[in-house]
Amino acid sequence: MKTRKNKNFFESFKHASEGIRTVMKEERNMTYHVSFGLMVVLLGFLLKISVIEWLFLLFAMSSVLVTEIINTSFENVIDLITNHQYHEIAKKVKDMAAGAVLVSAIFAAIIGCLIFLPKLWDLFV
């Protein structure tokens, strides 16, 4: 079955938006990542972080979201190929993709701590 290419930017944007909605609806962890991201943004406004700090935070948060989307994509393709049957290589690929999400989440948490902990310390000490 041959599919056609998207005709224009808006059609491509529509498909990409559908992909984001799908991962938000189907992947519980994506909801967690977005919720934590919103809390971080709120804390950033409350603590009046600098432009450079915003750049680091936004990069870290987007890397977590992107790796979660890629992880979910891998999981769906593997499930399609294996027909939801256990296969050792499929397990390895899913575990590695989940590991990528974990690495990006840890990196984001470290960045958040480096930015927010000194500011919170100054507020309460």
Which SS3 state, helix, strand or coil, does residue 28 take?
Answer: helix
CA angle 97, 57, 18 (to 5 degrees): 55
When the pLDDT of each residue in the chain is averaged and rounded to a whole number, the result is 94
Residue-wise pLDDT for 18-62, tens only, equals: 999 999 999 999 999 999 999 999 999 999 999 999 999 999 999
The string of pLDDT tens digits covering residues 28-38 is: 999 999 999 99
List the catalytic residue out of 18, 68, 75, 88.
68
d(CA 27, CA 78): 16
Q: Is 75 a catalytic residue?
A: no
Q: With contact defined as beta carbons under 8 Å apart, do 63 and 108 qualify?
A: yes
What fold, for 9-124?
A: Helix Hairpins (1.10.287)
pLDDT value at position 24? Answer: 94
Q: Where are the domains of the chain?
A: 9-124
With cut-offs at 50, 70 and 90, classify the pLDDT of residue 6. Answer: low
> Model's pTM, two decimal places?
0.88
pLDDT confidence of residue 8: 87
